[in-house]
Amino acid sequence: MTSARRIDGFAWLAAPALAYLGVLYALPLALLLFKSFSAGGSFPSFAGYAEFFGDSFHLNILWRTLRVALLVTALSLLLAYPTAFVLARARGAAQTIILIAMVLPLAVGVVVKTFAWSILFRSDGLLNKTLMGIGLTDSPVRMLFTEPALVLAAANVFLPFMVLPIYAVVRQLDPRLVEAAATLGATPLHGFLRVVLPLTLPGVVAGAAFVFSMAVSMYVIPSLIVGERSQTLAMLIARSYLFLRDEQLGSSMSAILLAIAVAVVMGSSALVRRLGGGRR
């Protein structure tokens, strides 16, 4: 009886936060989903989804959005994985400096960081001046308004969200695992692939889910880096609401984007639980 009362007490403590989330998140999402299935007073209606999936222009934007998100996730993982090991193995002031370098950029607005990258990518920016200064090119290279620039800028913005989950797993690993594998005849590469890498997969999956979910729905970064030349799904949603005034199409695309993000989060959570169970 006492245990039940404790649970009820904790539930009441969580009630304000749940109400806050329900009013500001759950209710707007429910209205959004309702709007995506209603057209001209009829419900349910799939006109918005039919319009989206029946247009090759929309499908190309969807594929571009997914491709960019996958590339951003892959680049972030490539940079974050060794960084997480360096951060976990560092000691004292070195670890503090690296950790601050990872966390401090989160305090800077996305607009500021993205605008800084847009300045670097300009034809008269620092990158082009450096390339021409060292003789790699005679004329400015077109960087701004390109997909590689978008991937690089987005990976820079989302990198901490990949490093920190991997670091949280790596710091719990015994650094002598590779040495123990070597005593059994494993080479350093074999020990890493068969011992260290499987143990760090939960952090990799969690970080990849974070970065992909944010990259697939980003709006500010592609707006400043590529503009209207290479639209993403989030930009198309904003265009549908703000310029075309087509709320049903915008709601349908928002629901599709939400479904992608939810699928990634649920899939990654199931994969992390499976990996955790496999280790036990």
Terminal-to-terminal C-alpha distance of the chain: 33
Give the pLDDT of residue 280.
47
For residue 279, what are the β-bridge partners?
none
Position 67, amino acid: R
Tell me how crowded residue 85 is: count the other CB atoms within 10 A of its CB: 18
Q: Give yes or no for a contact between 114 and 224, defined as CB atoms under 8 angstroms apart.
A: yes
Q: Residue 245 has what DSSP assignment?
A: -
In the chain, where are the structural domains located? 1-36, 46-279
- Cα 101 to the center of its chain, rounded Å: 19
DSSP per-residue letters across 109-153: -HHHHHHHHHHHTSTTSHHHHHHHHTTS-SS----TTSHHHHHHH
Residues 256 and 231: their CA atoms lie apart, in Å, by: 16
Reported as half-sphere exposure (CB side, CA atoms, 13 A), residue 171 has a value of 14
The answer on pLDDT for 76 being more than 80 is yes
Cα distance between residue 128 and residue 35, in whole Å: 47
Tell me: pLDDT of 181 over 50.
yes
pLDDT digits (tens, 9 = 90+) for 120-130: 888 888 888 88
Strand partners, 42: 39
Q: Which two tokens stand for residue 189?
A: 């590469």
Q: What pLDDT score does 6 carry? A: 52
Instruction: Please tell me the distance from the alpha carbon of residue 155 to that of residue 158, in angstroms, as a whole number.
Output: 5
CATH class in words for 46-279: mainly alpha
Are 117 and 158 a contacting pair, CB within 8 Å? Answer: no
The structure's pTM equals 0.86
Distance CA 204, CA 189 (A): 19
One-letter amino acid of 146:
T
The phi, psi pair for 42, rounded to 5°, reads -95, 140
Give the pLDDT mean for 136-157: 89
The SS3 assignment for 172 reads coil
Ranking 92-101, 181-190, 257-266 by mean pLDDT, the lowest is 181-190
- Rounded to 5 degrees, what are φ and ψ at 39? -150, 125
